């Protein structure tokens, strides 16, 4: 339970989803930074988006149902689509070290976001969000 939060403590799936959203945000920033010069101008924007994602994840962890839907719809769906489009771009063969790092960040980001989205809607999580009713 987070400081200042009332009600029952968050179940395991919600706590795990929170940790995975933090991982996804960090991996997203890492992926953009590792991609090097072409995406460097977008790094501040990506950091702002990831910072907003962390703030929304904190609200989700506290029991705000709207935050769960924002994470699932905006970051889970839209973010996944944009990252799969990025991953489909061919870096050429053999890939450089930066391409491998960026690809690893992309895979980590996708795996974390998709797993977190599923965990937020597990039965225990659904019951907890109904119980705290925010």
- Give the pLDDT confidence score for residue 1 in this predicted structure: 47
Q: Which of 116, 101, 114, 97 is nearest to 15 (CA)?
A: 116
pLDDT score for 107: 85
In angstroms, the CA 90 to CA 92 distance is 5
Domains in the chain, number? 1
Compute the half-sphere exposure of residue 113: CA atoms within 13 Å on the CB side of its CA.
29
pLDDT means per 10 residues, the chain with 134 residues, are 66 97 87 67 80 94 95 79 61 70 83 94 96 80
The residue range of the domain holding 125 is 12-132
What is the predicted pLDDT for the residue at 85?
59
In a domain, 95, yes or no: yes
Predicted confidence at residue 59, as pLDDT, reads 96
Does residue 91 sit within a domain?
yes
Label residues 15-42 b or e (16+ Cβ within 10 Å = b). Answer: ebbbebbbbbbbbbbbbbbbbeeebeee
């Amino acid at each position: 339970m987070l400081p200042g939060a009332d009600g029952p403590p968050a179940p395991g799936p919600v706590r795990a989803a929170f940790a995975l959203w933090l991982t996804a945000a960090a991996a997203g920033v890492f992926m953009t930074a590792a991609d090097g010069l072409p995406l460097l101008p977008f790094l501040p924007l990506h950091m702002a988006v990831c910072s907003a994602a962390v703030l929304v994840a904190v609200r989700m962890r506290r029991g705000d149902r709207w935050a769960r839907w924002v994470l699932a719809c905006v970051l889970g769906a839209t973010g996944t689509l944009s990252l799969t489009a990025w991953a489909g771009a061919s870096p050429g063969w053999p890939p450089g070290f930066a391409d491998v790092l960026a690809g690893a960040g992309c895979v980590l980001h996708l795996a974390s976001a998709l797993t977190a989205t599923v965990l937020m809607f597990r039965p225990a999580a659904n019951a907890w969000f109904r119980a705290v009713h925010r």
